[in-house]
Amino acid sequence: MFSALRLFIARPARCLNAPAPACTICRYTTRSARSILDDDSIPVDLSEDNDAVDGVRSTNPRRNPSSEKTPSTWQVHRSAIKESFPDGWNPPRKLSREAMEGLRQLNRVDPETFTTPVLAERFRVSPEAVRRILKSRWTPPVERRAKLLKKEADAKAEFLSLRALKERMETRRVMESRMDMREARRMDAFELDDGEEEIETQPDEGDAPHRAPVRGVHARDRLTFQ
């Protein structure tokens, strides 16, 4: 009895310590895995992969042009531009950078009032030029902007100095004209007094009557009708 029990206890230990048979590994191996392992000794051609890595052949497919037609609005606009400007865009009158910035500022402040036709009439340019200016987003660099501000300040100072000089010249001319008028009135009054004294002098007896020199009519002359 003890011998049978001893054999029963030793049998599971022997099964656990024994290696698994080869059939258990093959049972869980798939057919594709077995084929890969079987073909391990056959060389594989990797030239296509090398070409893709080296950039000899592009991996992206060649793209064909779109079959969609160009929108009709762009075609109409392009034909109108070519008809209006056959030699290209070259406006006869060009605005300065300051004028362009002022035009954009007006449209930005009140776009409903300062529309494209209104701005074209105010700045005396074509509506196409106004559209191009509003569409442009070019801004001058910091150095260029500083030069523009300095130029604007110099132009403003020169304008104010010229206006002050013109006002001084106009004031001087008016004062000189007033002085000339006063001098002319004074001379006329002096001549009038001399004429009255000559008329009032009585001639002596036996002498010919003395007549005053003939002169023009003055505003202060007293005319009497007999």
Count other C-beta atoms under 10 Å from residue 125's C-beta.
20
Q: Residues 6 or more apart from 128 whose CB is under 8 A from it?
A: 81, 84, 89
pLDDT at 142: 85
Indicate whether this model's pTM tops 0.75.
Answer: no
For the stretch 208-219, pLDDT in tens is 555 555 556 666
pLDDT at 215 (0 to 100): 58
Both tokens assigned to 50: 């090398």
pLDDT tens for 171-194 read 888 888 888 888 878 777 766 666
Residue pointed to by tokens 């206006």: 163
